[in-house]
A and B are shown apart, each in its own frame.
Chain A
Amino acid sequence: MRGVHEFSIAEALVAQVQRHAPPSGRVREVEICVGALRGLEPDALRMSWEAVTHGTSIDGAILHVDLRPWTITCSSCGRTWTSPVPFVACACGDPAPRPTAGDELDLVSLTVETEED
């Protein structure tokens, strides 16, 4: 499990979520946003998340990963679009339009369930 690159990210995230979780509530959902540059796999993140949260106070919380795509900009025809992968050809025939992406890795929200009368 340690070999998975997403594992250390999941570990950092668990500590962070536990810091923010209100003591009286149960964390049901956790939402993060990840720039394509990070190269993280949402499935591997969720697997690591399940392994790391298992048996903790946030066991069972669902991880939502908002993966931001690459932006491809073609200088030959001026077209701009998004793509899950960086190296793509443009419809105009340019074989190598420029890929750019962010490296954000942010905790966006927690959804917490609290009991009330």
Chain B
Amino acid sequence: MAEAARTTRIPLVERVLEANDEVAAANRAQLERRGIFSVDLIGAPGSGKTALLEATLRALRGRRQPAVLVGDLATRRDGDRLARWCDQVVQISTGQGCHLEANQVRDALAEIDLDAVDLLFIENVGNLICPVGFDLGQSAKVGLFSTAEGEDKAAKHPYLVEAADLILLNKVDLLPYLAFDRSFFEADVRLLNPRVPILGVSATTGEGLEAWLAWLERAARSGLPASTD
């Protein structure tokens, strides 16, 4: 009795990252229920994510009750820097993982006293590619570029630019020393995401910080039509 093989094509339509998306949706519901506005800060290694958050936390002292989750491959250095300005900092060691996933954020949120928080910053792992595709449950995605990386970086990372609710260009204090044409950078951003606000900042000199803080306050108040897709 010979056995015949039968092949069957099973059609499915299911998101590959559905498991992550479900956890992200639960994170989002938990944060929204508590009225906590959250920012997923995505940028290249060394673009100044931690430096910007240090300056931001310092400026928000007495005005807001922030918490920070910080993803890092191998060290606790960023968490230690941020803990100088904020009581509630949770370091997420991603080991070899090049981005944060929603379950890591869920676990980190469990370590925070959320009753004492009204604003959450998530510093993603330094990477312009992978973090964009993994929803964490954040209210807004902020794409951080820096002048030192070169004016073509928005064009080379269209997913981040398209998905961002705000584009920050950090290290504007270095513009006099660099052949960085800000109009090229902004034109590329505009082409990919015509409506996204673009703000120039310097985490070291504080230039542009007020506009960034004002965006935060406005977005937190209005709840922002966030990157929930």
Contact = CB atoms under 8 A, between A and B. Distances in A.
Interface string A1-45: 011010011001101100010000100100010000111000000
A115 B133 CA distance: 39
Contact of B7 (A37, A105, A111): A111
Contacts of B6: 113-116
Given A20-B10, A109-B12, A8 B130 contact: yes
A109 B10 contact: yes
B119 to A, nearest CB: 27
B158 A86 contact: yes
B96 A2 contact: yes
A115 B16 CA distance: 28
Nearest to B11: A109
A117 B13 CA distance: 31
A113 B7 contact: yes
A66 interface: no
Interface residues of B, number: 38
B13 A106 contact: yes
Q: Is the interface of A mostly helix, strand, loop or mixed?
A: mixed
Contact of B187 (A39, A96, A99, A103): A96
Interface of B: 1, 3-20, 96-99, 129-130, 133, 155, 157-159, 162-163, 187-188, 191-192, 194, 229
Given A8-B99, A116-B4, 11 more contacts: A2-B98, A3-B98, A16-B18, A16-B19, A37-B159, A38-B133, A86-B158, A86-B192, A87-B155, A107-B15, A114-B8
